[in-house]
């Protein structure tokens, strides 16, 4: 019975991931340098192999961008972002999680239950920041099954005391890391890790800069694939891959070869994270004649966008810098006051010359839903059309979404928004 269940899972999981990758590859103007990113996703989700990492380096599963990768690299491990986007795992998790839990958490619980994904199963430690009710309960559920480090993320972040408390959470997490790797945290190894990630950030800045200057240079679905691949790639390798992609994009920009026509409506995706293989929305946008010019979700650039600001090079100073970087500029709706998300979206609209906003709400993701009203009011003020799309991890609503997205794109195309 169990074997049949796993077999069914294997087939479906493979088929869904393959289909998504096929649809991504089928989009026109796919840069050659994107191949390693797609290969990474294929390796983890189609071939169901573990992530590639140096021998003897344990992997640590993280469930949010608020877990600083620098800390994990510093202590001799590799972070793997495990937030789930799999429809098949979601269906498995549906039996375990409450009906109204968000699909992301259901997918994670499904992966844990089915025990068939090496990238998940081989993690020596799980790190779960408590950012919403579902993650909070997921943390308790995981802790009963796996070594898990729970990080309390402050809901307010403007007081120094909150930062101090989060810094202490990071120290506690570092202790858990030391237990699995045997490597204590020192200022030297943390500094090395900062340098390692700084290189990735430099390449990411180059990538962002290229997209800002030429919003039609690369399709958003490709950019999202590259960002998603970061979750399962050893940082230095990802940096090299992104550098090659940047080189290719720079060449294309010089030659004036754009991925889409200049008059294609440029959309911004914000809201709940888009995690491979749930590329339903980016693919629909691109297939229906829009251009996903930017995304503000936490699986996009947000994960590495802000470098830590180190004013004190001591170990404690660097830890504070990590705590600050993880929380203060973050636009996650976990924070009680999240006006900076509006500022960030406004900035992105300017930078990428956005003509419409797609607001993604995963069913059950209440925190993003709460912020929709404020976002809608802001967009109305700016004269930018916005559409709220609520969806789940299944393909049943694809055709309805297609019609809505198509209509939205037409509205922008013929509605006279000529930003």
Which of 257, 261, 253, 207 is CA-nearest to residue 229?
207
In the list 26, 309, 336, 403, the residue contacting another protein (rule: CB under 8 A) is: 336
User: Alpha carbon 44 to chain centroid distance?
Assistant: 16
Nearest residue (CB) to another protein, 134 versus 218: 134
For another protein, the binding residue among 72, 104, 139, 291 (CB under 8 A) is 139
**What minimum distance in Å lies between the beta carbon of 64 and another protein?**
13
Smallest distance, Å, CB 303 to another protein? Answer: 22
Check residue 42 and give left, alpha or beta (phi > 0: left; psi -120 to 50: alpha). Answer: alpha
Q: CA quadruple 284, 120, 142, 62: dihedral positive or negative?
A: negative
Residue from 4, 55, 99, 254 binding another protein (CB under 8 A): 99
Window of 30-38, 61-69, 76-84, 368-376 that interacts with another protein by CB under 8 A: 368-376
CB of 97 to another protein, least distance (A): 8
**Contact between 338 and 332 (Cβ < 8 Å):** yes
CA 21 – CA 93 distance, rounded (Å): 23
In this structure, what DSSP letter does residue 306 have? S
373 part of the interface to another protein, by CB under 8 A? yes
Q: Does 165 bind another protein (CB under 8 A)?
A: yes
Which part of the chain contacts another protein (CB under 8 A), choosing from 153-161, 282-290, 323-331, 348-356?
A: 153-161
Q: Give the residue with the Cβ less far from another protein, 79 or 364.
A: 364
The Cα–Cα gap between 27 and 269 comes to: 18
Q: Which residues pair with 268 in a beta bridge?
A: 294, 357
Residue 371 in contact with another protein, rule: CB under 8 A: yes
Does residue 391 touch another protein according to CB under 8 A?
no
Residue pair 99/109 in contact by the 8 Å Cβ criterion = no
- Answer yes or no whether residue 98 interacts with another protein by CB under 8 A: yes
Three-point CA angle 60, 65, 71, nearest 5°: 50
Q: How far apart are the first and last CA of the chain?
A: 58
Minimum distance, C-beta of residue 364 to another protein, in the bound complex (Å)? 7
The minimum distance between CB 101 and another protein, in angstroms, equals 6
d(CA 299, CA 319): 23
79 counts as binding another protein under rule CB under 8 A: no
Write out the binding residues for another protein, residues 109-138 only, by CB under 8 A: 130, 132-134, 136-137
Phi, then psi, of 389 in degrees rounded to 5: -120, 115
Q: Binding-site residue total for another protein (CB under 8 A)?
A: 41
**Token pair 């693919």 is at which residue?**
283
Q: Which of residues 11, 25, 145, 168 is near another protein by CB under 8 A?
A: 168
Minimum distance, C-beta of residue 389 to another protein, in the bound complex (Å): 14
Tell me the two tokens of residue 293.
């010019």
Which listed residue (276, 335, 352, 393) binds another protein by CB under 8 A?
335
308 forms part of the interface with another protein (CB under 8 A): no
323 binds another protein (CB under 8 A): no
Nearer to another protein, 172 or 403 (CB): 172
16 touches 275 (CB < 8 A): no
367 binds another protein (CB under 8 A): yes
Listed residue (323, 335, 318, 269) closest to 296, CA to CA: 269
- In this complex, which beta carbon is closest to another protein, that of residue 24 or of residue 361? 361
Cβ atoms of 345 and 268 within 8 Å: the answer is: yes
Closest CB 105 distance from another protein, rounded Å? 9
CB 248 within 8 A of CB 336: no
Question: Which residue, 223, 275, 264, is CA-closest to 106?
Answer: 275
Nearer to another protein, 99 or 261 (CB): 99
Residues that bind another protein in the complex, under the rule CB under 8 A: 97-101, 130, 132-134, 136-137, 139-141, 143-144, 150, 152, 154-156, 161-162, 165, 168, 172, 333-338, 364, 366-367, 369-374
């Amino acid at each position: 019975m169990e074997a049949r269940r796993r077999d069914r899972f294997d087939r479906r999981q493979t088929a869904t991931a393959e289909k998504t990758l096929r649809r991504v590859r089928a989009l026109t103007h796919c840069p050659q340098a994107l191949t390693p990113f797609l290969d990474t996703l294929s390796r983890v989700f189609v071939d169901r192999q573990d992530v590639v990492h140096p021998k003897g380096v344990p992997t640590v599963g993280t469930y949010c961008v608020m877990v600083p990768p620098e800390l994990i690299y510093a202590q001799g491990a590799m972070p793997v972002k495990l937030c789930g986007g799999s429809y098949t795992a979601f269906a498995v998790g549906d039996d375990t999680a409450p009906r109204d839990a968000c699909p992301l958490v259901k997918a994670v619980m499904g992966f844990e239950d089915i025990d068939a994904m090496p990238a998940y199963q081989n993690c020596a430690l799980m790190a779960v920041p408590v950012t919403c009710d579902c993650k909070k309960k997921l943390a308790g559920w995981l802790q009963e099954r796996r070594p898990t480090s729970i990080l309390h993320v402050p809901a307010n972040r403007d007081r120094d005391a909150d930062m101090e408390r989060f810094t202490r959470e990071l120290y506690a997490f570092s202790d858990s890391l030391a237990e699995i790797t045997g490597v204590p945290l020192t200022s030297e190894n943390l500094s090395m890790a900062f340098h390692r990630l700084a290189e990735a950030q430099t390449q990411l800045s180059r990538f962002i800069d290229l997209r800002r200057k030429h919003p039609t240079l690369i399709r958003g679905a490709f950019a999202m694939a590259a960002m998603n691949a970061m979750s399962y790639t050893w940082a230095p390798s990802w940096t090299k891959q992104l550098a090659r992609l940047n080189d290719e994009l720079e060449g294309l920009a010089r030659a004036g070869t754009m991925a889409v026509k200049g008059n294609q409506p440029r959309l911004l995706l914000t809201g709940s994270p888009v995690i491979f293989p749930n590329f339903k929305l980016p693919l629909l946008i691109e297939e229906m004649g829009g251009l996903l010019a930017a995304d503000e979700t936490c699986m996009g650039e947000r994960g590495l966008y802000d470098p830590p600001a180190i004013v004190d090079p001591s170990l404690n100073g660097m830890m504070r810098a990590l705590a600050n970087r993880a929380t203060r500029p973050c636009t996650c709706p976990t924070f009680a006051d999240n006006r900076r998300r509006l500022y960030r979206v406004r900035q992105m609209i300017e930078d990428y010359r956005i003509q419409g906003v797609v607001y993604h709400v995963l069913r059950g993701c209440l925190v993003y839903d709460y912020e929709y009203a404020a976002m809608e009011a802001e967009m109305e003020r700016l004269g930018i059309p916005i559409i709220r799309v609520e969806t789940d991890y299944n393909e049943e609503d694809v055709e309805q979404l297609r019609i809505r997205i198509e209509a939205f794109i037409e509205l922008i195309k013929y509605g006279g928004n000529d930003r």
